[in-house]
Amino acid sequence: MAISVFDLFKIGIGPSSSHTVGPMRAAATFAQALREQGVLAQVSRVEVRLYGSLSATGVGHATDRACLLGLMGEWPDQIDPHSIEPLIAQLQRSQVLMLDGKQAIAFDCARDLLLLDESLPYHPNAMTLEASSASGSLLQQTYYSVGGGFIVEAAQVGEAGNSADQVQLPYDFASAAQLLALCKQHNLRISQLMMANELAWREEAEVRSGLLKLWAAMRECVDNGLRNEGILPGGLKVKRRAAKLHRSLQELGKPNVIGSTLSAMEWVNLFALAVNEENAAGGRMVTAPTNGAAGIIPAVLHYYMKFNPDACDNDVVDFLLGAAAVGILCKKNASISGAEVGCQGEVGSACAMAAAGLAEVLGATPMQVENAAEIGLEHNLGLTCDPVGGLVQVPCIERNAIAAVKAINAAQMALRGDGEHFISLDRAIRTMRDTGADMHDKYKETSRGGLAVAFVEC
């Protein structure tokens, strides 16, 4: 399966890539299919059935709202986040849904949007949509939201993939060992190899402009997080901290002041907090590679761009390409879905990706980049996904800040070595996969175990 950097990094909305972005894309795809099949005007009812993790934490992750918006014809990379509340409020008042933005149908959330206490076999994040007319069913489709905003139709399960997956890459790799061998054979840096692969889809100028557009969205997300204050939605009454922390750091002035606990690391914390507070509030952000872990890569990239006076746009491109190489390996050989392997698949993968991206722009050899990624992933193995109240807030927001600092440390440690190390990245990814398989389901984005339960018991 060929995976592009733009598959891993996508502009969307919060709070979750697998529970918000994916379901919205699935519902919008379903509405589009009704239109393309010429049956949209016949539809009188749509029923949405959510299974597994989508059901267990669907309300806290705004899965229900995402499905409604998708059915209205809204897409996560295009919708104005400020339009969401008015659209949902109008639907709740009128109980009329404008399917694909065109066909008015009666829609009662209590009747037509079902949270089911059962799971489907392929993936914990499953949903079925069925459209019907007065004379019977018109279309039924099951979708799996497999992490990072990726969706798979039930009919595609077990297939090799669609035509986009079958793009022939000049330097295809399925393991870190293959990636390193290709870099050595062709005398390429990892970012150079990744750029060559991206050219199988689009021109280099388009790749660069697309990556810089993602960086602009990351910067905007941070800026919004530094500006917005108040209480995050959802009922936990979690206070935003980024704006206040930003003011205190600005008052400090120069970073790394001797004798002060405030340092460049606090700026890293700040950037991560800003992104994930925006994500928790349903704002615009970039899946990197998921929403739950969306603050790590932007925080580390902001760190590099802020504290390196020679940093430039080319570094942004190389950082994201280097990070994507590791993300591709995690997705191909394990998972980036918290509902499938726990938070090690989200925060662990993002930490490894950030470490690789930073090492790449700091001049690391391919072996050192692989080492940095392995360190970042190894020390997140076993991390459970146990969001309190089903909300992407506690422990998710702080967890991004901690992992961002960890990614920087991983890159620094790798750069001090020669690339030789005991556990390979491939083995770490395989361990993440096996650990996720062994992990009890209650620790995989259901809010039925771990900190989620500890909070309730207190």
All structural domains of the chain with their residue ranges? 13-163, 170-457
| Residues in CB range of 285: below 8 A, 6 or more apart | 11, 12, 13, 14, 217, 218, 221, 275, 278, 279, 291, 294
Chosen CATH of 13-163 out of 2.40.30.10, 3.30.413.10, 3.40.50.980, 3.30.1330.90 = 3.30.1330.90
For residue 83, what pLDDT is reported? 96
Could you give the CA distance from residue 59 to residue 88 in angstroms, rounded to a whole number? 14
Encode burial over 286-311: b for 16+ CB neighbours within 10 A, e otherwise: bbbbbbbbbbbbbbbbbbbbeeeeee
Tokens 């793009």 belong to: 167
pLDDT tens, N- to C-terminus, the chain (458 residues): 899 999 999 999 999 999 999 999 999 999 999 999 999 999 999 999 999 999 999 999 999 999 999 999 999 999 999 999 999 999 999 999 999 999 999 999 999 999 999 999 999 999 999 999 999 999 999 999 999 999 999 988 876 444 446 799 999 999 999 999 999 999 999 999 999 999 999 999 999 999 999 999 999 999 999 999 999 999 999 999 999 999 988 887 655 444 444 578 999 999 999 999 999 999 999 999 999 999 999 999 999 999 999 999 999 999 999 999 999 999 999 999 999 999 999 999 999 999 999 999 999 999 999 999 999 999 999 999 999 999 999 999 999 999 999 999 999 999 999 999 999 999 999 999 999 999 999 999 999 999 999 865 44
Q: Cα-flanking dihedrals φ and ψ of residue 228, to 5°?
A: -80, 140
Tally of CB atoms within 10 A around 407: 32
Q: Name residue 320's amino acid.
A: L
For residue 456, what pLDDT is reported? 57
| pTM of the complete model | 0.93
Tally of CB atoms within 10 A around 212: 14
